[in-house]
């Protein structure tokens, strides 16, 4: 290869990073396209080297991004920002057959979408332990993904009384609880259809805790707290010195209805709720909760010490607890500062009854007494993440930038523009007791022409930032499907996913491991077909039933080889199953359409994949 060709090739590789723009000037989203200031080529070369993961090499981190209203979870590698996998959670996903087989269909329970915002890995002593990943759905649900196989294992909810569960799924430092909350206060119970004119008095906010079994990860209803009709927005669990407490932000403490962008911004301050969850546990154990919709609901008026309100800049969004648990960071999202509240001062104010008022009997702590600093981060602070060196990183929606500042000295030391309009941000293990620093991803709401046009439905942009040095440096632009809100970054070596389901672990009652056990049995109008999937045959290759029969197909992929998935797609019946190696899946349906219908393996598995097919014959009724 000539030198010239080589350099052209190198620049081809680097081109992708050029687009990322180490430049990223603060061009307004409406600015002219394709006119970007040239970056210094040395910066580009450094960025390229830092993000380039050579063929065969592996990324250093897993990056789990919520899929927003796609209802899914996207998995990327960092620093390459390559999309590795999509984990369907609240939405059927034909690629993995999710939502088609009996089990996943039952889990979705008729709902075909969700709005998933905040993933939360399980923690032990405040650190990611690599076992599970929880994620909220606005529709009052929470899901658990098992990180052993990257599959959704449980969906809990819709949980009674919760309306618009935005403020989850933050978990406590030893995964005792995940959090929930009502963004849209409603009558409790919701079936009590009181008119909106009674909003201020009859509508109620709900904060909720979902119990997690420490061995199995199984979620169950914990308890709820009934609150004034605020809009509970985000949450975080206390850690270390603040362990045992949960925090939630709210907007609209005005209890207004209609034109909220104006009416809910009248007061100077809204609140961060501070809830002593150990006190909640105790109160529930003492029988102080009232059973409503199958869950114990606590009234803070009847449980003194349960809940306090910390005044915060108006209309706050995120609330984030520092790695040592000392500071609670909350920002009015219309302001230019973020407040660092001091947990010890909160405790002192509680002891001294240093209150400035109350809301329906819930004491409001005095702002001046509990804050340590107002940090001048810039306009529109939303969310904060941390590194291991005592720095905090706050996303600025209005400024479209990230501010880096020091905990304790409150000095803003650096800023980097984001393209464009950053929402959440995610640092490596940046919400744990021991953040890694290194990488930070800005989860931007707009991508705005920094990619080939794909029509009006544009992707979002996620920008990778190097935070290993004093100055933040933009490394890479990745484009993602809508819509990551929050994401978490986990050190890759913490996860040890399996690649096949070991045969000896498959305890499914309908599993078979030998083609001679495959076949069809009938009990009245119920037909059971035990099916073996293995390269390159579906056994049996012919299934005959009568119109009106209930047909149950139990298929086992008897492969024990990595990546040897098989599918079972049944034409005209809208059935699409994908079975991983060593797995058994069941689908039950009514054979209501007479005729001959082909089924075939949908997942390319061998040179003779095309031959992996069969027929379902449905004989018409007499
Ligand atoms: Cu988009 Cu956490 Cu739902 Cu902030 S949330 S940006
Ligand atoms: Cu099995 Cu394709």
pLDDT digits (tens, 9 = 90+) for 593-604: 999 999 999 999
**Residues 425, 384: Cα–Cα separation, whole Å:** 7
Q: Which ligand is nearest to the CA of 602?
A: 2
Output the pLDDT for position 449: 85
CB 88 within 8 A of CB 70: no
Backbone angles phi, psi at 374, to 5 degrees: -110, 110
CA torsion angle 466 472 473 478 (round to 10)? 60
Q: Is the CB of 183 within 6 Å of ligand 1?
A: no
Given ligand 1 and candidates 424, 462, 480, 483, which is best to mutate, with the most ligand atoms within 8 Å of its CB?
A: 424
Output the pLDDT for position 8: 38
Q: Which ligand is nearest to the CA of 485?
A: 1
The pLDDT tens digits of the residues spanning 438-460 come to 999 999 999 998 999 999 999 99
Q: Is the CB of 166 within 6 Å of ligand 1?
A: yes
3-state helix, strand, coil in the chain (%, to 5): 15, 45, 45
How distant, in Å, are the alpha carbons of 87, 178, 564 from that of 506? 22, 30, 17
Q: SS3 string of 366-407?
A: CHHHHEEEEECCCCCEEEEEECCCCEEEEEECCCCEEEEEEC
Q: Which among 154, 109, 115 is positioned nearest to 134, based on CA atoms?
A: 154
- For helices 3-20 and 41-51, the axis angle rounded to 10 degrees is 80
Q: Which among 288, 164, 298, 183 is positioned nearest to 230, based on CA atoms?
A: 183
pLDDT band at 462 (very low <50, low <70, confident <90, very high): very high
CA torsion angle 383 386 392 396 (round to 10)? -30
Q: Is the CB of 605 within 6 Å of ligand 2?
A: yes
Given a cut of 60, whether residue 214 has pLDDT beyond it is yes
Q: Which ligand is nearest to the CA of 424?
A: 1
Q: Which ligand is nearest to the CA of 569?
A: 2
Q: Is the CB of 105 within 6 Å of ligand 2?
A: no
Task: Write b or e for each residue in 394-422: b if 16 or more Cβ atoms lie within 10 A of its Cβ, otherwise e.
Answer: bbbbbbbbbbbbebeebebebbbbbbbbb
Write down the pTM of the prediction. 0.93
Token couple for 390: 């005592």
Residue 543: which H helix or E strand, with range?
strand 542-546
Atom of ligand 2 nearest to the CA of 565: 1
Q: Which ligand is nearest to the CA of 135?
A: 1
Q: Where are the alpha helices (DSSP H) in 264-303?
A: 277-285
Given a cut of 50, whether residue 33 has pLDDT beyond it is no
Atom of ligand 1 nearest to the CA of 445: 6
Atom of ligand 2 nearest to the CA of 609: 2
**Residues 383, 395: Cα–Cα separation, whole Å:** 5
275 compared with 39, residue with greater pLDDT: 275
Atom of ligand 2 nearest to the CA of 604: 2
Atom of ligand 2 nearest to the CA of 564: 1
Q: Is the CB of 539 within 6 Å of ligand 2?
A: no
Q: Is the CB of 445 within 6 Å of ligand 1?
A: no
Atom of ligand 2 nearest to the CA of 605: 2
Q: Is the CB of 488 within 6 Å of ligand 1?
A: no
- The rounded Å distance from CA 137 to ligand 1 centre is 12
Q: Is the CB of 208 within 6 Å of ligand 2?
A: no
Beta strands in 36-175 (DSSP E): 61-66, 72-78, 83-88, 119-124, 127-137, 141-146, 151-156
How distant, in Å, are the alpha carbons of 14, 226, 375, 376 from that of 251? 44, 16, 20, 21
**Residues 134, 488: Cα–Cα separation, whole Å:** 11
Q: Is the CB of 382 within 6 Å of ligand 1?
A: yes
Average pLDDT score over the chain = 93
Given a cut of 50, whether residue 16 has pLDDT beyond it is no
The pLDDT tens digits of the residues spanning 153-207 come to 999 999 999 999 999 999 999 999 999 999 999 999 988 999 999 999 999 999 9
Token couple for 384: 């904060």
Atom of ligand 2 nearest to the CA of 603: 2
Q: Is the CB of 531 within 6 Å of ligand 2?
A: no
Among protein residues, the one with the nearest Cα to ligand 2's atom 1 is 566
Among protein residues, the one with the nearest Cα to ligand 1's atom 3 is 117
28 compared with 297, residue with greater pLDDT: 297
Given a cut of 50, whether residue 27 has pLDDT beyond it is no
């Amino acid at each position: 290869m000539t030198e010239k060709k080589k350099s052209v090739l190198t620049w081809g590789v680097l081109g992708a990073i050029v687009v990322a723009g180490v430049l990223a000037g603060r061009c307004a989203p409406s600015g002219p396209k394709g006119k970007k200031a040239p970056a210094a080529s040395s910066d580009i070369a450094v960025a390229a080297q830092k993000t380039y993961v050579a063929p065969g090499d592996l990324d250093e981190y897993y990056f789990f991004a919520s899929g927003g209203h796609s209802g899914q979870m996207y998995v990327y590698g960092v620093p390459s920002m390559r999309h590795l996998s999509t984990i369907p959670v609240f939405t059927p996903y034909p690629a993995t057959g999710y939502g088609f087989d009996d089990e996943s269909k039952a889990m979705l329970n008729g709902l075909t979408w969700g709005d998933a915002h905040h993933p939360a890995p399980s923690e032990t002593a405040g650190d990611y332990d690599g076992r599970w990943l929880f994620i909220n759905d606005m529709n009052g649900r929470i899901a658990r993904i098992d990180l052993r196989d990257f599959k959704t294992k449980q969906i809990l909810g819709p949980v009674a009384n919760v309306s618009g569960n935005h403020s989850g799924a933050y978990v406590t430092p030893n995964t005792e609880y995940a959090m929930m909350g009502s963004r849209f206060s409603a009558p409790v119970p919701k079936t009590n259809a009181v008119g909106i004119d009674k909003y201020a008095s009859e509508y109620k906010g709900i904060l909720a805790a979902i119990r997690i079994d420490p061995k199995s990860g199984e979620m169950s209803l914990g308890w709820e707290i009934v609150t004034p009709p605020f809009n509970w927005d985000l949450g975080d669990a206390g850690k270390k010195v603040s362990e045992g407490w949960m925090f939630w932000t709210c907007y609209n403490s005005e209890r207004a209805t209609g034109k909220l962008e104006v009416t809910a911004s009248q007061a100077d301050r809204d609140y961060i709720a501070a809830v002593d969850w150990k006190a909640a546990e105790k109160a529930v154990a003492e029988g102080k909760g009232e059973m409503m919709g199958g869950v114990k609901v606590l009234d803070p008026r009847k449980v003194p010490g349960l809940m306090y309100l910390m005044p915060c800049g108006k209309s706050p969004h995120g609330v984030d607890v520092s790695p040592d648990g000392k500071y609670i960071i909350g920002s009015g999202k219309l302001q230019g500062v973020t407040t660092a509240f001091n947990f010890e001062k909160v405790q002192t104010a509680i002891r001294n009854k240093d209150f400035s008022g109350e809301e329906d009997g819930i004491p409001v702590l005095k702002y001046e007494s509990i804050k340590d600093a107002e940090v001048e981060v810039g306009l529109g602070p939303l969310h904060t993440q941390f590194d291991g060196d005592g720095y905090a990183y706050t996303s600025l929606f209005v400024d479209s930038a990230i501010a880096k500042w020091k905990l304790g000295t409150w000095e803003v030391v650096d800023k980097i523009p984001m393209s464009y309009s950053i929402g959440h941000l995610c640092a490596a293990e940046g919400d744990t007791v021991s953040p890694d620093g290194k990488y930070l991803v800005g989860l931007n709401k707009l991508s705005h022409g920094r990619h080939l046009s794909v029509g009006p439905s544009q992707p979002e942009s996620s920008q990778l930032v190097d935070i290993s040095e004093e100055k933040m440096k933009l490394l890479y632009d990745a484009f993602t499907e809508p819509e990551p809100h929050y994401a978490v970054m986990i050190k890759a070596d913490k996860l040890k996913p399996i690649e096949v389901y070991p045969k000896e672990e498959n305890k499914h009652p309908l599993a078979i491991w030998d083609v001679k056990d495959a076949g069809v049995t009938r009990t009245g109008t119920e037909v059971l077909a035990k099916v073996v999937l293995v390269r390159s045959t579906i056994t049996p290759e012919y299934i005959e039933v009568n119109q009106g029969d209930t047909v149950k197909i139990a298929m086992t992929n008897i492969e024990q080889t990595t990546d040897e998935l098989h599918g079972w797609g049944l034409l005209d019946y809208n059935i699409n199953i994908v079975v991983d190696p060593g797995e058994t899946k069941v689908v039950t349906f009514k054979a209501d359409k007479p005729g001959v219908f082909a089924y075939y393996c949908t997942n390319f598995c061998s040179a003779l994949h095309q031959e992996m097919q069969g027929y379902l014959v449905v004989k018409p009724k007499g």
